[in-house]
Amino acid sequence: MSKIVVIGGSAAGMAAAAKAKRMDPSSEVIVFERSGYVSYAPCGIPYYVEGLVRDIDELVYYKLDYFREKRGIDVRIHHNVTDVDVDKRIVYVDDLKNNRSYKVAYDKLMVATGGMAIKPPIDGVDLDGIHTIRTLEDGESLRKDVLKSDVVGIVGGGYIGIEVAEAVASIGKKTILFEMLDHLMPNFDKEPAEPIKEELVKHGVDVHLGEKVVEFTGNGKVRKVVTDKGSYDVDTVLMAVGVRPNVSLAKSMGIELGVTGAIKVDKHMKTNIEDIFAGGDNSETINLVTGKPTYVPLAPAANKMGRVAGENMVGGNAVFPGVLGTAVTKAFDLEIGKVGLSLREALDNGFDAVAVDITHGAKSHYYPGFTKLNLRLVADRKSHRILGGQLTGYYGVLARVDTLAAAITANMTTDQLKMLDLAYAPPFAPVWDILIVAANVIEKKY
């Protein structure tokens, strides 16, 4: 019987624990989690802040009893792993609830310490009322402050910033969004991101682009956001400027980090240390378009990485191939999606890339609820290989993003895309889908 220890109980950690136990029921599996929750959905926090999710516990996929009683996994919450002796294979743990410390031996170890919200070194960033969100406890704290506030400032115009801006504005709070770049969604090109700003402004969000936050002020609690262009009164602030890998423990263990600063793992999720695996928001992987290491802290990848690690910890040979960075969100009624590379990213990675911008119906023009989609399709000029897509629209973004994800994974060209046998019916799509139209039009760029 092998003894498996998992450090971290979110997506990758619990996926690894569950898969290992399923593959080898005789194994002993212990999970240590610093927070009070495991197997939860931090992506749902903006909807909890808005009140669409009434109880924070609704964001928990499986309760502790499910893992302990039905799956036979020893899950220990409020436990912080402080050190690992990789030579003796011992994990040192603090039991935060009972104020005691102890050690546990392991045969195989999974490091799933996740990511950490970035808090840039801005004066006043540690004032009360300035939040980041990674855990459910973070979500509870943010909602409590938002409900007591009249004005909420949001720093960062990426996925989380946009989702929380919608949440806060939807419950009647004045919302000010600051983004230091000249467009929202930093992984988008500028032009495809324009409809996102328009949608936020239409719903009352005060959007400040090209404006860098330089200071927070207040007497113990934040009262002003100071930028390089002005000063703004606030009651609460959310910092949503990105995520970095939580690798302090890994570094102390001698685990090798990659070029992205995240843990370097092979396709089997193995680290450079024998019998130690890693995965999730603390680990880098391969970008399927560029073939280069990348850091993409998103839940679908973390779950798959954990599953692969769990299988291999009990003797399997599973492989995690990499990611495209496929993602979708919304700003009020506007759906937003991206897959693969933007034009800027493609050019920066050495591709002779071209792009075409198409606006086209999401369904047949005569069908009730007709609306249009915006698509930027990116391809390689010489090979015609599809490199990426960015979409916005009021209906049908997800279907096109997922179709492009499959096409890019299969290394399809625009010549093949334009002949794909996509489904057609007036309520769902026009006879000429926007992907087919874009694939035909981009040929003029070659």
Which residues participate in catalysis according to the annotation? Answer: 43
CA atoms of 283 and 15, how far apart (whole Å): 15
Contacts of 327 (CB under 8 A, 6+ apart): 159, 298, 337, 338, 339
Q: Look up tokens 């290394």; give the residue.
A: 411
Nearest to 365 by CA among 285, 282, 292, 426: 426
CB 411 within 8 A of CB 385: yes
